[in-house]
Each structure stands twice: as structure tokens, then as C-alpha cells.
């Protein structure tokens, strides 16, 4: 597959509308195939997870961010990644008192442009792929997080809010049988 005239480190850009329309078709088709909104939410999360475990390598190579010493650094890196891959500026806020939970606030969501959720799909988490991607990416750097949507512009809230909670640091497990 020819990659054209891309130099090292350069990124191919696509139109934001193309992304929105493609993602929209994907979600609409998933809804038609599975007919069950919870199942679609699960599948979107899985899709996101697969995307995240691969995207993290690209992010580390491109942005070269360096080690994170605590969750605030991690939050900053996630913010950087949103800017790099989706060209959207998000804000980090709503830190919990223990410092293990934070919110990502997006006032415009490029995936959900033009979308209006019909009433029968009110439980659909349309942008769930983002949650899965954050979870997958963090898992590859040995951090386990729980990601959930706290607010969604498509459901009538003012902006879209993703809540990220730190669970634990993952240690590399020695495969069973070896010692």
C-alpha cells in the first residue's frame, strides 16, 4: 500500500465532516445490526479499546510526551492527544478530592456533528468509542482506568463530559508456568 509522499512524522489529515459522516454510518449500521442499544454501547467500547491500544504507540512516537508521574500528567497527555487526533480543545476539570478522578469537558464533539438521537435510542452512548479508546490507551501504559460519560450534548446537556477514574497501576504478570 503506497503511503504517498508522507515524510517521517507528518500526519495525513482528513476532513472533519468525513470523519463525522463515517462514524455516523458506523453507529447507524451497528444499531441496525444489533437492534439492542446496550449491545451497541458494548461494541463501541470494544472498538474504542482496540483503537486505543494501537493509538497509544502512535501518540508516544509522535508527541514524545515523556513519563507521567501522577494522574494530572496523564490528564494533560490525554488533552494533548485530543488536540492531536481530533483537533478539538478539551478542558480538564472537576478533580475529585482524592485526586483520582477527573473530567474531560468537550464543548464540541466532532464525532457527533449533524447527529440528532431519535427517542428510541435515548440510551445510546453515541461517542462511546472515545471512552473505550482512553481505557485501551491507558491499559497499554500499565494504568487501569474506568471511563464513563457523565454528560452528553446529544442527550440535551450543555457539553459532553467524560469522567475518568483511576483504579490501579497494572504490574506485568508473569505467565503461568514460568517462575
Partner 1 sequence: MTGNYYFAIVGHQDNPLFEMEFSPSNKEPKKEEHRHLNQFIAHAALDLLDESMWTGTNMYLKIVDKFNEWYVSAFVTAGRIRMVCLHDVKNEDGIHKFFVEMYETYIKHSMNPFYEPNTPINSPAFEKKALIYGRKYLTG
Note whether 40 binds partner 1 by CB under 8 A: no
**Minimum distance from residue 90 beta carbon to partner 1 (Å):** 23
Taking the least distance from each CB to partner 1, the nearer of 95 and 121 is 121
Q: What angle do CA 164, 162, 148 make, to 5 degrees?
A: 65
- Which of 59, 72, 82 is closest to 9 using CA atoms? 59
Task: Quickly tell me which residue has 517521517 as its cell.
Answer: 8
Q: How far apart, in whole angstroms, are the C-alpha atoms of residue 10 and residue 58? A: 12
Taking the least distance from each CB to partner 1, the nearer of 44 and 145 is 44
Write the binding mask 85 to 124 for partner 1: x where contact by CB under 8 A, - elsewhere.
-----------------------------xxxxx--x---
**Minimum distance from residue 23 beta carbon to partner 1 (Å):** 8
Taking the least distance from each CB to partner 1, the nearer of 77 and 153 is 153
Note whether 14 binds partner 1 by CB under 8 A: no
The number of beta carbons lying within 10 Å of the beta carbon of residue 41 is 20
Q: How far apart, in whole angstroms, are the C-alpha atoms of residue 90 and residue 101? A: 16
Gyration radius (Cα) of the chain, Å: 17
Residues lying near partner 1 in the complex (CB under 8 A) are found at 21, 24-25, 27-28, 31, 114-118, 121
Amino acid at each position: 500500500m503506497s503511503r504517498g509522499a508522507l515524510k517521517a512524522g507528518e500526519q495525513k489529515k482528513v476532513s472533519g465532516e468525513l470523519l463525522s459522516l463515517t462514524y455516523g454510518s458506523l453507529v447507524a449500521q451497528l444499531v441496525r445490526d444489533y437492534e439492542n442499544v446496550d449491545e451497541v454501547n458494548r461494541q463501541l467500547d470494544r472498538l474504542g479499546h482496540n483503537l486505543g491500544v494501537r493509538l497509544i504507540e502512535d501518540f508516544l512516537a509522535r508527541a514524545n510526551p515523556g513519563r507521567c508521574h501522577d494522574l494530572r500528567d496523564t490528564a494533560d497527555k490525554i488533552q494533548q492527544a485530543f488536540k492531536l487526533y481530533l483537533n478539538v480543545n478539551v478542558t480538564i476539570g472537576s478533580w475529585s478530592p482524592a485526586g483520582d478522578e477527573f473530567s474531560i469537558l468537550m464543548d464540541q464533539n466532532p464525532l457527533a456533528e449533524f447527529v440528532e438521537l431519535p427517542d428510541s435510542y435515548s440510551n445510546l452512548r453515541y461517542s462511546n468509542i472515545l471512552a473505550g479508546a482512553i481505557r485501551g490507551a491507558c491499559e497499554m501504559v500499565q494504568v487501569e482506568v474506568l471511563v464513563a460519560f457523565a454528560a452528553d450534548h446529544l442527550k440535551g446537556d450543555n457539553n459532553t463530559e467524560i469522567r475518568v477514574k483511576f483504579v490501579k497501576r497494572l504490574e506485568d504478570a508473569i505467565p503461568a508456568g514460568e517462575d
